[in-house]
Structure 1
Amino acid sequence: MKYFAVSEFVRSETADKRGIDNRLPKDLLPNVQALVDNVLDPLREAWGKPIIVSSGYRCPALNKAVKGSATSDHMRGCASDITVGSRKENKRLFNLIQSLGLPFDQLIWEKGNLTGPDWVHVSFRRDGENRKQIFAL
C-alpha cells in the first residue's frame, strides 16, 4: 500500500452523521490490501496524481444506510469508489483502468452522463477469480 491508507477506506460522512462504527475488521484487511496493491496503487502510479477514495469498506449498517446492494463487495473490503474531481477526468480514469489491463473484478461507470461518471467503482477479488466485468453507458 504505497499511495493509499486504510483510513481512506473507512471514512464516511454518513457513518459519522448516523453514529455507525465503520471500522475495518482485521480479517478483511487483506482484501483492502489486495485491492490497493493490484489495482489502486498501479492505477495511481500511471495516473501520476492523487485519486480520492469516496467510498471503500462499508459495514453492513453503513451499506444499508447508503442503500448499497445486499451483496456489495464494499462490505468485504474488495471494492472502492474513486474520483479525481470531474466527470471528464473520471472518464479518463475509467478508460485507463482498462487500458492498463488491471485485474479488476468489476469496473462500473457510476451515474453521470456521456461526459463521464460521477465516480468509478472498481473491485478486486484476491482469490484470483476476477471476472473483468465492465458496466458503462
Structure 2
Amino acid sequence: MQLTKHFTVEELTRSTAARNLSIDNTPNKSEMANLKLLAETVLEPLREAFGHPIIVNSGFRCAAVNKAVGGVRTSQHMLGQAADIRTLSNTSEDNKALFETAASLVRAGKINVGQLIDEYGYSWVHISTPGKHVNNVIHIK
C-alpha cells in the first residue's frame, strides 16, 4: 500500500528477522497511522530534498521483532514512529549527505523530528517523528 509518492507500508514493515523467525510484524491501526505520519512529514520531504532514493533498513518493529534484533524497549520503531534509512549506494559519504540534508531541513523548520542520529560512522541514519520521550535530538554516535 502506497503511503506517499516514494514510500509504501511494505517497505516500512519489512523485516528479515520477522521473516526468519515467523513473527507477524503487522502494525495495528495506531501504528499504521504513525507510519503514515512518518512517511508524509519526515521521509517524503527528506526524499524530495535529497533528490535520490532512500532505502528503509528498518521501520516498524512489533515488540517481538524489536526484542529479536536487540532494540531498546522504548524504541519508537515499535510505535511506527522511526526508521533506519540509508542511501542506495550505502557509502558513508552518501549516508552522511543524507544525514546533513535531514539536519538542514530540521534547522530550516521544514521537517520536525524527534531524533536524527548518525549510526556508527554513517552506516545508516536513524530518524523519527517527535514522540513522547524525545525532542529534536540531533547527534552523532
TM-score (norm 2): 0.88
Letter in structure 1 aligned against 2:135: R
1:93-114: CA deviations, max 9, x gaps? 11110112221100111113xx
2:96 to 91, 100, 124: 91
Taking only aligned residues, the RMSD between alpha carbons, in angstroms, comes to: 1.6
Work out whether residues 35 and 126 of structure 1, in 8 Å CA contact, stay in contact via their aligned partners in 2.
no
What's 1:134 paired with?
138
CA distance in 2, matches of 1:126, 1:118: 24
1:30-71: CA deviations, max 9, x gaps? 111111111100010011111000000000000000000000
Q: What percent identity do the matched residue pairs reach?
A: 45
Equivalent runs, 1:1-137 vs 2, <5 Å: 1-84=4-87, 85-101=90-106, 102-112=111-121, 117-125=122-130, 131-137=135-141
Moved more, 67-76 or 45-54: 45-54
Letter in structure 2 aligned against 1:87: S
Work out whether residues 103 and 130 of structure 1, in 8 Å CA contact, stay in contact via their aligned partners in 2.
no
Letter in structure 1 aligned against 2:47: R
CA distance in 1, matches of 2:15, 2:32: 17
Cα displacement (A) at 1:25: 1.2
Unpaired runs of 5+ residues, structure 2, are none
CA distance in 2, matches of 1:100, 1:134: 12
CA distance in 2, matches of 1:134, 1:99: 11
SS of 2:23 mapped into structure 1: coil
CA distance in 2, matches of 1:45, 1:130: 25
Letter in structure 2 aligned against 1:98: A
Cα displacement (A) at 1:125: 2.9
CA distance in 2, matches of 1:109, 1:40: 16
